[in-house]
Amino acid sequence: MSMMYVAPEQQMKDRADFARKGIARGRSVVVLRYADGICFVAENRSQALHKVSEIYDRIGFAAVGRYNEFENLRIAGIRHADLRGYSYDRVDVTGRSLANSYAQLLGTIFSAGAEKPYEVEIAVAELGTQPSQDQIYRLTYDGSIGDEEQFAVMGGQAESISAAIAADYHDNLDLAGAVRLALRGLEAANRKDAAELDADSLEVAVLDRTRVQPRKFRRIPPGELADLLAAGE
């Protein structure tokens, strides 16, 4: 029985196309800097399955794609951060080191011919003590990593959402302005149900520099989110 030969570059192309199609079916997530920190806004109607989570004191995580796969990555990131913080010091846990670990893991999974690539895109955000020290890293299914200066968008309509956000983005946005800008970006995507986006269909969290606690991550409850969305009306 003869075996069909497939060139390595064709295999990589097929795996990339497979991963991109899976990610394109996911609802989008926006991560953007604002005056007092970093804001995460995800289109998510589930109350139980989160796309946005805390990793460590000043580090947040957001993802789109297959839930079981990015949940595995989230748990691995928490274990990595806890081990490093315990072995060395809490200040030694950085978004850069975590993003590099994710890049190695995703790259290994993508290039391994024995299993399918992960259908995920993730963002790792680290809050600095000063706004200029904030970091947002975006990682794709093949382990590619990008350092985003202002915001990152992931999911099926990332290009149209990014264009809408870029038109009105500035560094001095307050939290309400950042949330409303992210919402306008999500609504700019060509989706039939875009007009239905409201506080009940969004998952929002922040890394808040004004918090006195060492842990800067905070979820925005629906009541507060509704007030933020109404602030500009």
Tens-digit pLDDT profile for residues 27-71 = 899 999 999 999 999 998 888 889 999 999 999 999 999 999 999
Side-chain-side CA neighbours of residue 33 (13 Å): 21
Distances (CA, A) of 141 to 2, 24, 71, 118: 32, 12, 14, 6
Q: What is the pLDDT of residue 60?
A: 97
- Check residues 43 and 197 and name the one with the higher pLDDT: 43
- Kindly state the average pLDDT of the residues 155-168: 90
State yes or no: pLDDT of 90 exceeds 70. Answer: yes
CA 227 to chain centre: 24
202, 219 in Cβ contact below 8 A?
Answer: no
| Euclidean distance between CA atoms 31 and 23, whole angstroms | 17
Residue 230: band (very low, low, confident or very high) from pLDDT cuts 50, 70, 90: confident
pLDDT at 10: 77
- Give which of 217, 166, 162 is closest to 39, Cα–Cα: 217
- Counting beta carbons within 10 angstroms of the beta carbon of residue 108, is it exposed (0 to 12), middle (13 to 18) or buried (19 or more)? exposed
Q: Is pLDDT of 193 > 60?
A: no
Better pLDDT: 190 or 216: 216
Q: How confident is the model at residue 112 (pLDDT cuts 50, 70, 90)?
A: confident
Percentage of the chain lying above the pLDDT 70 cut = 93
Q: Does residue 142 have a pLDDT over 80?
A: yes
pLDDT at 65: 93
> 216 or 24: whose pLDDT is higher?
216
Domain residue ranges of the chain, discontinuous segments joined by + = 24-230
Distance of CA 36 to the CA centre of its chain: 19
Q: Say if residue 141's pLDDT is above 80.
A: yes
- Among residues 33, 28, 202, the alpha carbon closest in space to that of 125 is found at 33
Q: Is the per-residue pLDDT at 100 higher than 70?
A: yes
CATH 3.60.20.10 fits 24-230, yes or no: yes
Q: In whole numbers, what is the pLDDT of the chain averaged over residues? A: 89
User: What per-residue confidence (pLDDT) applies to 195?
Assistant: 54
